[in-house]
């Protein structure tokens, strides 16, 4: 594989940057929000979690069907655009800045949280205990279908949502020559607003604030689940107390890692840590596949892929309204909102690293690359866990309900040959993946809080470092109160809901941009 074409200094302009400035108002309001939220969580931990559960139910009941329809529509739209003549449109001039491998690894790390490692072992167990499509819980059919729902929730639809927003943002930035890499300039362009008008400034301010809040909401779940799983594993391995102090130390170590990576920059920092994270993930998945019952895992994965594809439309639009079921709201709607919290940041990051690529490459790169990576890793780890359950060796669904999912993960890894070594490898992998994901997120947050960021420019290092620290504070508060999964889900859904409107505008904007595109200019 060839080396990256440019280092960070090469993509920066040769003249001093004078137009880009810190958005002090945006930063200040965000900090007030962060510290008020932390204060309320620590002073009223029980009340906060009870209120969170109530808000989650109310929100998913009111907008659940809209969210599911949007997800299905996103798939149809991007597949059409990618397969049409519009797929040939090149986003920016020149050759791609990064190799295909580096490009894929970086957007996978930006688009996937390290909590993926936890869900890869345990998500099927949640579904076995209560699954959709009117399948009885804890039945053989529930077990047979469990992984197919995992593939659905980590497959085509979420990556299509990423692709929809990314292509719209990339077209606006690289072809329309946007004055800033943020949502406010995109929405102003879609609505034909003068960027200097009062309406444009108000909308822009609201959008940028909502983006920052949504980013924090998504990271709360990802970071809290990751650190909780790692601390439980290390406590079990080394016979120490799984204390808040241990969790704080692990979070501090992760923060230091991605802060150093962010300081170095995309080419020398994020690119390398993304290679490390994705490489280690592939190796771990391969090890589990080889050391486990390989034939069973492969057969189970193939069968699950068939179920996912054959039931895709029904899974996408299943609401269970006549039985008053909650599976679609508790999982499908939650997951689409979870992915949506990351969508603005991912679209900004994909735009930054996709100059010189075509719309088709971005769409099918995100969908094919994202699905392949997720399905391989989830298939390997979930298949192994299901085999342990079916063989009456480790009952993960029971451990999940009686003790915790974190404990079940530790038991599953310890049962592998060289279990202690693989446990350490797995928990280090989770921390590396978290550091890589937070690094990409810190970049996008810094980009949004920089005024007038132009093509080829990156946010200042000092601002990226500042956000590296800030992104760790809310998850620390959640670890302190030992927040439940319902509380973490609420943080996601409340911050993601406003972006449904933004993503609907992306559909309008993409149609507008593509309809007015002059193909002769690309010849």
For residue 337, give the CATH number of its domain: 1.20.1740
The pLDDT of residue 85 is 93
**Number of domains, the chain:** 1
Tell me which residue of 95, 250, 171 sits closest to 509, measured CA to CA.
171
Q: What is the reported pLDDT for 452?
A: 63
- Residue 159's SS3 state is helix
Residue bearing tokens 């909590």: 115
Confirm whether 263 is domain-assigned.
Answer: yes
CA atoms within 13 A on the CB side of 296: 16
Q: In this structure, is residue 61 part of a structural domain?
A: no
What are the 10-residue block averages of pLDDT along the chain, 523 residues in total? 32 40 72 71 71 73 89 96 94 84 75 76 94 89 95 95 93 81 80 77 78 73 81 84 88 74 54 72 91 96 96 93 79 89 83 90 92 92 96 95 90 91 86 73 75 66 76 77 69 74 90 82 45
pLDDT tens sequence across 417-464? 988 899 888 888 887 777 776 776 777 777 777 766 665 566 777 777
What the block records as the tokens of 132 is: 């959709």
The whole model's pTM is what?
A: 0.81
Terminal Cα distance for the chain, rounded: 30
Helix/strand/coil for 40: helix
Evaluate whether residue 115 is within a structural domain: yes
> 345 is written with which tokens?
């940041």
358, 241 contact by CB (below 8 A): no
Report the C-alpha gap between 56 and 54 in whole angstroms.
Answer: 6
Distance of alpha carbon 349 from alpha carbon 440, whole angstroms = 7
* Residue 53 domain-assigned (yes or no): no
Domain range for residue 445? 73-515
Residue 366 — φ and ψ, nearest 5°? -65, -50
Please provide residue 91's backbone torsions phi and psi, each rounded to the nearest 5 degrees: -90, 90
Q: Which helix (DSSP H) or strand (DSSP E) does residue 21 occupy?
A: strand 21-22
Judge whether 402 lies within some domain.
yes
How remote is the C-alpha of 99 from its chain's centroid? 22
| pLDDT (tens digit per residue) in 238-255 | 888 888 899 888 888 877
Is 267 a member of any domain?
A: yes
Tokens of 63: 């907008």
Whether residue 322 is contained in a domain is answered as yes
pLDDT of amino acid 58: 76
**Residues shown for the chain:** 523
Interatomic CA distance for residues 318 and 316, integer angstroms? 6
Q: What is the DSSP string of 355-368?
A: TTEEHHHHHHIIII
> What is the Cα–Cα distance from 344 to 462, expressed in whole angstroms?
22
Task: Please name the residues in contact with 419: beta carbons below 8 A apart, sequence gap of 6 or more.
Answer: 413
Q: Backbone phi, then psi, for 247, in 5-degree steps?
A: -65, -40
- Residue 113: the pLDDT is 62
In terms of DSSP H, where are the helices of 267-358?
271-291, 294-310, 312-317, 327, 334-353
pLDDT value at position 3? 33
């Amino acid at each position: 594989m060839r080396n990256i074409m440019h280092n960070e200094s090469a993509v920066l302009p040769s003249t001093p940057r004078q137009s880009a400035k810190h958005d002090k108002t945006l930063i200040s309001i965000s900090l007030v929000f962060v510290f008020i939220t932390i204060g309320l969580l620590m002073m009223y931990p029980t009340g906060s979690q009870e209120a969170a559960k109530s808000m989650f139910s109310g929100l998913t009941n009111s907008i659940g069907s809209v969210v599911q329809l949007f997800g299905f529509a996103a798939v149809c739209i991007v597949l059409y655009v990618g397969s049409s003549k519009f797929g040939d449109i090149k986003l920016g001039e020149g050759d791609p800045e990064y190799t295909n491998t580096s490009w894929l690894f970086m957007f996978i790390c930006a688009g996937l949280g390290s909590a993926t490692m936890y869900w890869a072992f345990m998500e099927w167990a949640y579904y076995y205990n209560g699954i959709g499509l009117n399948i009885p819980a804890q039945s053989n059919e529930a077990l047979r279908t469990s992984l197919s729902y995992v593939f659905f929730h980590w497959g085509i639809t979420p990556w299509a949502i990423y692709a929809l927003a990314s292509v719209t943002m990339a077209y606006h930035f690289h072809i329309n020559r946007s004055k800033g890499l943020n949502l406010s300039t995109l929405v102003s362009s879609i609505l034909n607003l003068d960027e200097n008008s009062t309406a444009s400034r108000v909308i822009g301010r609201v959008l940028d604030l909502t983006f920052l809040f949504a980013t924090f909401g998504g990271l709360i779940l990802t970071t809290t689940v990751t650190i909780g799983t790692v601390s439980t594993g290390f406590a079990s391995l080394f016979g120490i107390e799984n204390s808040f102090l241990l969790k704080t130390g692990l979070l501090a170590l992760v923060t230091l890692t991605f802060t150093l990576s962010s300081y170095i920059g995309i080419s020398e920092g994020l690119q390398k840590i993304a290679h490390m994270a994705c490489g280690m993930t592939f190796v771990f998945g391969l090890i589990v596949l080889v050391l486990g019952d390989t034939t069973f895992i492969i057969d189970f994965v193939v069968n699950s892929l068939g179920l996912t594809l054959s039931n895709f439309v029904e899974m996408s639009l299943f609401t269970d309204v006549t039985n008053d079921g909650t599976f679609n709201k508790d999982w499908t709607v939650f997951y689409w909102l979870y992915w949506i919290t990351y969508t603005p940041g991912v679209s900004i990051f994909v735009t930054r690293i996709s100059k010189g690529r075509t719309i088709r490459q971005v769409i099918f790169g995100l969908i094919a690359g994202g699905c392949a990576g997720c399905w391989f890793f989830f298939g390997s780890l979930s298949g192994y866990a299901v085999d342990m359950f079916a063989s009456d060796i480790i009952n993960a669904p029971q451990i999940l309900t009686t003790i915790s999912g974190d404990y079940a993960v530790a038991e599953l890894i310890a049962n592998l040959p060289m279990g202690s070594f693989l446990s350490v490898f797995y928990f280090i992998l989770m921390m590396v993946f978290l550091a890589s994901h937070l690094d990409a997120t810190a970049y996008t947050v810094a980009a949004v809080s920089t005024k007038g960021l132009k093509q080829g420019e990156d946010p200042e290092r000092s601002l990226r470092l500042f956000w590296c620290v800030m992104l760790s504070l809310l998850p620390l508060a959640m670890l302190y109160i030992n927040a439940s999964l319902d509380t973490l889900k609420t943080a996601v859904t409340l911050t993601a809901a406003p972006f449904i409107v933004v993503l609907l505008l992306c559909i309008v904007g993409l149609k507008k941009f593509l309809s007015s595109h002059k193909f002769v200019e690309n010849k």
